[in-house]
Amino acid sequence: MDKTWYQALNYEALVRANKNSEAKAQEAFAKALTLLDTTESLLLHLGEYALLLGVEETLLSKAYGACLPAFEAMDSSVQVLTWEHPLWPKQVNSFAYCPRFLYVRGNASLLSQPSISVIGTRSPSLEGKKSAALSAYAIGKKSYVVASGLALGIDGVAHKTALDSGFPTIAVLGTPLTSCYPPEHAQLQEEIAKRGALVSRFAPSSPTQKWFFLLRNRLMSALSLASVVVEDRDGGGAVRQAAFALEQKKYLFFYQSSLDNHSFLWPKEFANRPRVFVVKQASDIPRVLEKAEKTRQAVGKVVQKSVQLELDI
């Protein structure tokens, strides 16, 4: 294992020893960075780590031993990114639940490129599938990276459209890279690893939990400039990501057809809110996003100039 892998392994041992709670583990790891060589095996500094975390040495040693086999078995092609890594996507730093490490297979530089999430239900209508494909194509054609969550339905259509069109795509996983969910997308996952990027915030030693997928959606939103909810039910994962996007002050897009569907409440709850755009066709998405970004940047320059004038007085 390389040095970064040891850092991630040491951190995961801290998390496991702390009953899978990240907050205290992050605090202990931050202190360890200033006191210890965190690229060495935790067992070489077991007493110091245990003291920093406030647990018994035997508990921490057991946690390390439980995590070690999964890290040793991790594919050598996996890149482990830390906050200090040059390829770390800095756009995620200021948001809640920011991970301490990211695990990546494929082209890790894609994580820092402008991307747009195309997401939605696992059981789409024919219109939803068509809209997902058109959305991914319109986004990729304008040189945005197509991001999605590898799920059945809308996510799968978005990824496949990007690959078939020769556009880069990122799959943000709700499992460790060593797993595949759903199993039906095992081949698609491998294809994205070859021609795009797979990214997970979950270590190979992490047993997948249902709530991982909400953390996946938070991360996907943070990585992206905007999220496009093609089609989803009230309370669905894509709708939850829509809420995360607005919480993170990102852009949100959905289709007029969703707003016109009186079976669902969520489109009306999001409509007319800041940074939310209702579009009629896929080609509107990159055009509207580019206009919104230009407006935001222009406003930022005006504010900055105003502050500078006040300082000069």
- Domain coordinates in residue numbering, the chain: 3-73, 90-296
- Beta carbons of 148 and 158 less than 8 angstroms apart: yes
Burial of 309 (C-beta count, 10 Å sphere; 0-12/13-18/19+): exposed
Does the pLDDT at position 160 exceed 70? yes
Does the pLDDT at position 301 exceed 80? no
Look up residue 169 and give its amino acid: T
Query: Is the link from the previous residue into 124 a cis peptide, with omega within 30 of 0?
Result: no
Distance between CA atoms of 106 and 185, rounded to whole angstroms?
Answer: 17
- Beta carbons of 168 and 178 less than 8 angstroms apart: no
| Architecture of the CATH domain 90-296 | 3-Layer(aba) Sandwich (3.40)
Higher pLDDT, 21 or 7: 7
Structure confidence at residue 21 (pLDDT)? 86
Does the pLDDT at position 307 exceed 90? no
Higher pLDDT, 280 or 299: 280
Structure confidence at residue 300 (pLDDT)? 57
Tokens 């556009």 appear where? Answer: 167
Structure confidence at residue 297 (pLDDT)? 84
Distance between CA atoms of 136 and 140, rounded to whole angstroms?
Answer: 6
Q: What is the mean pLDDT of the chain?
A: 94
Structure confidence at residue 299 (pLDDT)? 72
Structure tokens at 37: 């060589």
Does the pLDDT at position 303 exceed 80? no
110 φ, ψ to 5°?
A: -65, -25
| pLDDT, tens only, 53-99 | 999 999 999 999 999 999 999 999 999 999 999 999 999 999 989 99
CA 98 distance to own-chain centroid = 9
- Beta carbons of 142 and 286 less than 8 angstroms apart: yes
Distance between CA atoms of 246 and 244, rounded to whole angstroms?
Answer: 5
Structure confidence at residue 2 (pLDDT)? 83
296 — pLDDT class (breaks 50, 70, 90)? confident
